[in-house]
Amino acid sequence: MTMAPGPVPAPTPASHFDTNARRWDENPVFQERGRQMARAIRSGVHLHPGMSALDYGCGTGLLSFPLKDTLGHITLADSSEGMLAVLREKIAAQGVGHMEALRMDLMTDPAPERRYDIIYTAMTLHHIPDTRRILDVFHHLLTPGGTLCVADLDLEDGSFHGPGLEVHPGFDREALADLCLRQGFRDIQFETVFEIVKERNDGTRNYPVFMMRARRD
């Protein structure tokens, strides 16, 4: 008997990140941003090879590669298959055994079983509509006393991404700290770690990027 072919699922549209993944690491600003964020994490958190880490919204791993020698197992999670394909090639090319690339969207997928001593996320929080919920999931995934590090844009006027993209226009530090406190985080600290410079119609604009560190109860 010949089976009639079933419906073929429509291909999911390539995201902005899928499309740009191949050329992501060619941008020296992204590279330097990753290095500066890594420096800020290392200076504020005592990292050691006994620690398990989650890099959420990892992209091509520009934050995790500079940290890899000071951490134990690192899960690098992203919703973009394009980013993950580039990342997997980099992990294989460097022969790294303790970095694992995982397609995961914590807003729609079940949370993993594993727990992490540190979760860091770079330039990803503004892409996630429900900030309270993702902080809640991070809290759930951290071991007691674990550290959350969030690097993202300070509150801006929406010109960073321009019209048509539904993202948070950065974050007000006090409001984010308040939300973290309510989700069970303590010892919340901020520092400015980078500045992104963009040419806009009205001239050159500087967009500061903060690093927030917080401890899970």
Residue 120 amino acid letter: Y
- Write out the binding residues for ligand SAM, residues 179-198 only, by CB under 6 A: none
Nearest to 143 by CA among 106, 105, 110, 114: 114
Stretch that binds ligand SAM, among 3-11, 124-132, 163-171, 203-211 (CB under 6 A): 124-132
As a whole number of angstroms, the distance between CA 174 and CA 42 comes to 23
- Write out the binding residues for ligand SAM, residues 154-173 only, by CB under 6 A: none
How far from the centroid of its chain's Cα atoms is residue 58's Cα? 5
Q: Per rule CB under 6 A, is residue 36 in the interface with ligand SAM?
A: no
Single out the residue of 45, 47, 57, 152 in contact with ligand SAM (rule: CB under 6 A).
Answer: 57
Single out the residue of 29, 92, 107, 111 in contact with ligand SAM (rule: CB under 6 A).
Answer: 107
Contacts of 72-75 with CB under 8 Å at 24 or more apart are 72/48, 72/98, 73/98, 73/100, 74/98, 74/99, 74/100, 75/100, 75/102, 75/112, 75/114, 75/116
**What token pair was written down for 141?**
């995934």
Q: Per rule CB under 6 A, is residue 80 in the interface with ligand SAM?
A: yes
Minimum gap (Å) between residue 122 Cβ and ligand SAM:
4
Q: Per rule CB under 6 A, is residue 128 in the interface with ligand SAM?
A: yes
Contacts to ligand SAM by CB under 6 A = 17, 30, 34, 57-59, 62-63, 78-80, 83, 105, 107, 122-124, 127-128
